[in-house]
């Protein structure tokens, strides 16, 4: 079983549209949407039978007023300034859940409690089992939630003996992206031919170099600026990153997207389907002989 993570240096490159169409053409696949801050793969894959579970990904210090003797030791030891000097109460929004205050409190007045930071959905799509999640706005544990989604996808893949796990990674290069890439067998880099797209792509390549992950390049809407597309392709060639697809700016793709449909599945889009099938075959070739 191989894990392929689709990433882009930033949002809005068409990463999720690409991912949805890719999984629709793969067999024995488990799908993990790790864009937990703004998940939307489910809008295209329309999974059903969603099993919704609460995710508690953080802890918060909670004080029992009855036990507090106002000694101020918690205030002195909280390095996140999350204890008020006036009454030694906890400032929830500043608490990082480190647990130091609960350790040092002489009367056990402070306890650490788990708090809800998101939801995880286990669902079935037409193309295979799909695990997705949504982080509560403002919750600061997206990397942990991404790891949890991937763990559940791994379990599901083992259960059904899947050949592939396709991960729709988070945009950017921060903690959730690193969690999305962790233990990937291959990364697919989706970019667009703009100067910012190129610059973001270079930063993403630094990340995958760090993890030493094989990668393939997808240039979306390549024809809106063919000169930059050529530069991106050349840059990636020098980085040993193979070009997997140049996707055109196409009204057929826009129309499918507006209807919430997959462009590779719609009649009349055989050329686009063929292009995506070539991506599937390049992915498979990458693992030939293993
Ligand atoms: S350390 Fe415990 S007893 Fe002292 S002020 Fe803080 S909560 Fe109250
Ligand atoms: S858990 Fe850590 S951050 Fe939160 S109040 Fe206690 S010491 Fe401060």
- HEC-encoded secondary structure of 157-225: HHHHCCCEEEEECCCCCCHHHHHHHCCCCEEEEEECCCHHHHHHHHHHHHHHHHHCCEEEEEEECHHHC
Site to probe by mutation for ligand 2, drawn from 78, 104, 115 as the one with most ligand atoms within 8 Å of Cβ, is: 78
Residue 232: which of 192, 186, 273 has the closest Cα?
192
Looking up tokens 């995880």 gives 120
Q: Which is it for strands 110-125 and 128-135: parallel, antiparallel or unpaired? A: antiparallel
Task: Say what the pLDDT of residue 120 is.
Answer: 95
**What's the 180 CA to ligand 2 centre distance in angstroms?**
28
Question: Rounded CA gap, 204 and 200, in Å?
Answer: 6
Partners of 55 in beta bridges: 118
**Domains located in the chain, CATH noted:** 2-55+121-286 (3.40.50.300), 58-115 (3.30.70.20)
Task: Say what the pLDDT of residue 154 is.
Answer: 96
Question: Rounded CA gap, 264 and 20, in Å?
Answer: 9
Which ligand is in closest contact with the Cα of 67? 1
Task: Say what the pLDDT of residue 124 is.
Answer: 95
Instruction: Mark the ranges of the chain whose per-residue pLDDT is less than 70.
Output: none
Site to probe by mutation for ligand 2, drawn from 64, 93, 101, 113 as the one with most ligand atoms within 8 Å of Cβ, is: 101
Task: Say what the pLDDT of residue 198 is.
Answer: 92
Site to probe by mutation for ligand 2, drawn from 68, 85, 97, 104 as the one with most ligand atoms within 8 Å of Cβ, is: 97
Task: Say what the pLDDT of residue 213 is.
Answer: 93
- Name the token pair of 279: 């991506």
The CB density around residue 126, as the number of other CB atoms within 10 Å, is 13
Q: Please, what is the end-to-end C-alpha distance for the chain in angstroms? A: 11
Q: Give residue ranges with CB within 6 A of ligand 2.
A: 61, 78, 80, 82-83, 90, 95-101
Question: Rounded CA gap, 188 and 6, in Å?
Answer: 5
Position in ligand 1 atom list of the atom nearest CA 104: 1
State pLDDT tens for residues 267-276: 889 999 999 9
Catalogue the E-assigned strands of the chain: 2-7, 29-33, 48-63, 110-125, 128-135, 164-168, 186-191, 214-220, 242-247
Q: What is the pTM of this model?
A: 0.87
- Asked if 29 and 162 touch (Cβ cutoff 8 Å), the reply is yes
Q: Is the CB of 61 under 6 A from ligand 1?
A: no
Task: Say what the pLDDT of residue 13 is.
Answer: 86
């Amino acid at each position: 079983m191989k894990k392929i993570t689709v990433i882009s240096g930033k949002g809005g490159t068409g990463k999720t549209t690409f991912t949805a169409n890719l999984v629709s053409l793969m067999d024995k696949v488990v799908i993990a949407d790790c864009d937990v801050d703004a998940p939307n793969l489910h809008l295209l894959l329309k999974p059903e039978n969603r099993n919704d579970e609460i995710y508690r990904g953080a802890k918060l210090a909670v004080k029992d007023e009855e036990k507090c003797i106002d000694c101020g030791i918690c205030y002195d030891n909280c390095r996140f300034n999350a204890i008020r000097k006036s009454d030694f109460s906890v400032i929830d929004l500043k608490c990082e859940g480190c647990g130091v205050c609960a350790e040092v409190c002489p009367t056990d007045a402070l306890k650490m409690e788990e708090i809800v930071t998101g939801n995880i959905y286990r669902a079935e799509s037409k193309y295979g089992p799909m695990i997705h999640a949504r982080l509560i706005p403002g919750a600061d544990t997206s990397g942990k939630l991404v790891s949890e989604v991937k763990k559940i996808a791994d379990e599901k893949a083992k259960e059904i003996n899947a050949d592939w796990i396709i991960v729709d990674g988070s945009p950017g290069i921060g903690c959730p992206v690193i969690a999305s890439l962790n233990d990937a067998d291959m990364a697919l880099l989706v970019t667009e031919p703009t100067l910012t797209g190129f610059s973001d792509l270079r930063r993403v390549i630094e990340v995958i170099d760090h993890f030493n992950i094989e990668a393939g390049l997808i240039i979306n809407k390549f024809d809106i600026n063919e000169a930059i597309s050529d530069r991106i392709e050349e840059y990636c060639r020098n980085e040993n990153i193979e070009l997997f697809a140049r996707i055109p700016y196409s009204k057929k793709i826009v129309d499918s997207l507006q209807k919430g449909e997959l462009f590779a599945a719609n009649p009349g889009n055989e050329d686009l389907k063929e292009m995506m099938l070539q991506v599937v075959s390049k992915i498979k070739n990458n693992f030939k002989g293993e």
